[in-house]
Amino acid sequence: RQEAPESVRGAGVGRRSVCHAMSAAEALAPAKQAIKQQAFYMKKALDQRHLRTALHHAATMIGELRTSALGPKAYYEVYIDVTTELRHLEEFFEAEHERGRPMVELYELVQHAGNVLPRLYLLLAVGRVFLQSKEAAAKVVLEDLVEHCKGVQQPLRGLFLRNYLLQCTRERLPDTGSDYEGEGGTVSDAIKIVLANFGEMAKLWVRMQHQGPAANKEQREKERAELKVVVGGNLHRLASLEGVTLQVYTAEVVQPLLELIVSCKDGLAQEYLLECVCQVFPVAYHTATLPTLLRFLSWLSAAADESAILSHLISRLCALEPADGETEARDVFTPVADHVERRCASLRLLPSLALALALARLALEAYEAHTEYLERALSLASTRLESLGVVTEKRAVAVVQDLLSLPLKRKGGDVLYVLELTEWPRLVSRLPPPRERPAG
């Protein structure tokens, strides 16, 4: 069979993309209209205290989230419309609780909805008030909700369902100092619940790449990138728990969290989630658990850009400050530099030079008195360039120039300072003569 010319194949993909966009746009308007209509009938029934009728209209409204015709952005619009309207139902449940109605009765009632997705959204809406009522231990209700959500395995629907779970339970976890601590559980229970939800969301997110034909892989990757913030919301919630102290993070969070990230075996997911971990937790937490973090970096998927993750981590470590009563920050430069040197042999030239530049920044910003750290960063770049002789590649020249100018800028243009560095002139020798340098 003769293969179609590339221009024809490309045009076919373009037509499919346009058709997909048109069908998504055409599906969005009626979905929003149906939500508006069913929400009207739901609120009317709630005003008359006809709960079963209200639940029927609520389930029909939530049913709009069962669509497969929408991309992430359009689906998010439908999700926001639905969950905004569900707030009226939550307020009704709160009023019923104040009237003395047992929440466990409503918790069981909503489970009679016909379709799984509407049933689970209704269960989460009741669960929010059930937790607030404290009729049952918070950890028991939370574990039940997390387990129920496994009933939706379609990636897009499952991700937004679990996002709603996170939204409903955000202020109702048995965190240290919260109203739900004690009989409701401990911060350890809260950590396990958030990690369980995070693990399931990561699986759903990764599974998106395997949905649909291979021709649409690029579109799916773009859609996955749009949803990364939804998955990362769990990490923000975990980092905001009052009970996650340095001691708790070291003992109960870092190991299971990194295991979940590495086990997803997906480069895009690992890269984003590890950068998110570096960002949301305090720098002191990373310095205390640095050996563990570096060990897990060695187990990443080959598709993950480890150099980008390391650069992000080193950038965060630049904010390191001395502990109380100490004159300088704890040495994290040495273990990070050791790890970078081991990995550089398998990295391309530009990522290697970028890591040398990141290490130089760390040396100057956190360990200014230790010139040997700066020398080591410069040496890393010089050694990497040794076999190449003079650098001619435009982007590599630009990174080397940044690396050479960094100590000058830090020291206010003090040329004597850089001339005293053994590795600085060695690195300068790797640059081509000014007239031969690439323009840019």
Q: What is the pLDDT of residues 38-67, one digit of tens each?
A: 999 999 999 999 999 999 999 999 999 999
Q: Which of 153-167, 209-223, 401-415 has the highest mean pLDDT?
A: 153-167
Q: What are phi and psi of 49, to 5 degrees?
A: 60, 35
Instruction: Name the least confident of 1-5, 189-193, 194-198, 346-350.
Output: 1-5
Distance, CA of 311 to CA of 314 (rounded, Å): 5
Rounded Cα distance between 422 and 427, Å, is 9
Coil vs helix vs strand at 49: coil
Structure tokens at 406: 């960094």
Query: Residue 186: CB partners within 8 Å, gap ≥ 6?
Result: 174, 176, 243
Give the pLDDT of residue 435: 59
Express as a percent the part of the chain with pLDDT over 70.
92
pTM: 0.88
Predicted confidence band of residue 20 (pLDDT cuts 50, 70, 90): very low
Q: Above pLDDT 90, what percent of the chain?
A: 74
User: What 8-state DSSP symbol labels residue 302?
Assistant: T
Looking at the predicted structure, is the pLDDT value of residue 2 above 90? no
pLDDT of residue 13: 38
Q: What is the pLDDT of residue 202?
A: 96
